[in-house]
Amino acid sequence: MSGDRPSPLVIERILRDREGIWQQIVAERDLNALTGRMLTSSAIALACYGAVLGFFHSPLMALTSALKLPLLFLVTLAICLPTLYLFNLVFGARLSVRQSLALVMVAITVTSMLAVAFAPISLFFLITANDYGFFKLLNVAILTLSALVGLRFLTSGMQVLNDHGLLAPEAANAKVGEQAAAQAPVQAVPAAVAVGATPAAAAATGQSAEPVAVPAGAAVAESTPNGAVTTAPAPAQVPTQGAGQPAGAPFPPGMLPPGYVAQRPWDGRTARGGEPAQRPASMTLLYIWILLFGFVGTQLAWTLRPFFGDPGQDFAFFRSIDGNFYAEILRTIANL
């Protein structure tokens, strides 16, 4: 399934063709249409699930919960998205606002669709087990599980963008440069001069001063201080160890062991095989942002309550702000 022929259900495309979704976000192709479809699907799914939550109290509470649950996710996104975008800019990432919004909307869409998939289970316990505390904890667990799966999609998408160099462009360019240097062909070395020739003589003849291995026993020419040329048997090759290090005594000045390759600073440094890639700062900040998103979302949910509606209290669109979400969950667990 390609991005040119999208599925009628955006969640189906996200689950079946997630690589196509990531590539579309990387290329910034039709992101407005994709984000709009995800926004619409998420709002409808969250409204359906919110109606199930509110039916525990009354049909009027079901209507208000159907309005407030999509509002909860969208307002949390509006509060936290600028932080994610600015974090990426500060640490050198090249994400645009549309790419950041599309990535987060993928996570919200998966979360909302998974939550509405649990709606029949929640409705079943609403009918068969009319216990307010149990019903509340059950749906908090459903929303938590759905959010964890959605955030897993968010981290996967950010990792794909990191592989394309959008989170750490400098590291990506350095990696490409190292790979190009490692794959560059080695230039041919000019023929070496006679063994014992000085660098000055080699420069005068235009030849390289690097020595060439000579078979053992072959006669080589040597120059004497008075200019006479004599012949002498070439010494036997000395075995080398590791990266060209001689096993025996060191070679005389001006001579190098056969097969020795000097390290040149202009050759470039290649990457070490198996060396783990460094995690960009944007990925680390993403996990921090996820925690921030969770804290903002839970506090906003506590501010917008009730969603379930305590059957022992009258209908109210909002409750007074007292306590916090986590203390209420612990109190509910203790009262079970």
Over the stretch 263-294, which tens digit does the pLDDT of each residue have?
Answer: 444 444 444 444 444 555 667 788 888 999 99
Contact 54, 62 (CB under 8 A): yes
Residue whose pair of structure tokens reads 């048997």 in the numeric block: 233
Q: Looking at residue 153, what is its pLDDT? A: 92
Q: Are 249 and 239 in contact (CB under 8 A)?
A: no
Tokens of 199: 């660098």
- Look at 191 and 333; give whichever has higher pLDDT: 333
Q: Can the peptide bond before residue 306 be classed as cis, meaning omega within 30 degrees of 0?
A: yes
Judge whether residue 43 has pLDDT over 70.
yes
Q: Which residues pair with 192 in a beta bridge?
A: 208
Residue 90: how many CB atoms within 10 A of its CB?
11
Taking the C-alpha atoms of residue 69 and residue 60, their distance in angstroms, rounded to an integer, is 14
pLDDT number for residue 64? 93
pLDDT digits (tens, 9 = 90+) for 211-247: 444 444 444 444 455 555 555 554 544 444 444 444 4
What lies within 8 Å, CB to CB, of 68 at 6+ separation is 50, 304, 307
Res 71 pLDDT > 60: yes
With contact defined as beta carbons under 8 Å apart, do 208 and 191 qualify?
Answer: yes
Which helix (H) or strand (E) element contains residue 67? helix 59-90
Per mean pLDDT, which range of 34-48, 57-71, 91-105, 261-275 is the poorest? 261-275
SS3 at position 219 = strand
pLDDT at residue 336, rounded to an integer:
72
pLDDT value at position 224?
52
Q: What percent of the chain is modeled with pLDDT above 90?
A: 33
Query: What's the average model confidence in pLDDT over 109-138?
Result: 92
Burial class (CB in 10 A: 0-12, 13-18, 19+), 232: exposed
Which three-class secondary structure string do you get for 76-134? HHHHHHHHHHHHHHHCCCCCCHHHHHHHHHHHHHHHHHHHHHCHHHHHHHHHHCCCHHH
| Residue 63, pLDDT above cutoff 80 | yes
Going by DSSP bridges, is the β-strand pair 229-233/219-223 parallel, antiparallel, or unpaired? antiparallel
Please report the pLDDT score of residue 333 as a whole number: 86
Provide the CB-side half-sphere exposure for 324 (13 A, CA): 7
Q: How far apart are CA 212 and CA 190, in angstroms?
A: 10
Whether the per-residue pLDDT at 114 is higher than 90: the answer is: yes
Of the two residues 183 and 88, the one the predictor is more confident about is 88
Residue 50 is predicted with a pLDDT of 94
Q: Rounded to an integer, what distance in angstroms lies between the CA atom of residue 44 and that of residue 112?
A: 9
pTM of the model: 0.64
Most distant CA pair in the chain, distance: 117
């916090």: which residue's tokens?
Answer: 324
Q: Which pair of tokens denotes residue 73?
A: 């996710």
Q: For residue 168, what pLDDT band results from cuts at 50, 70 and 90?
A: low
Q: What is the pLDDT of residue 68?
A: 94
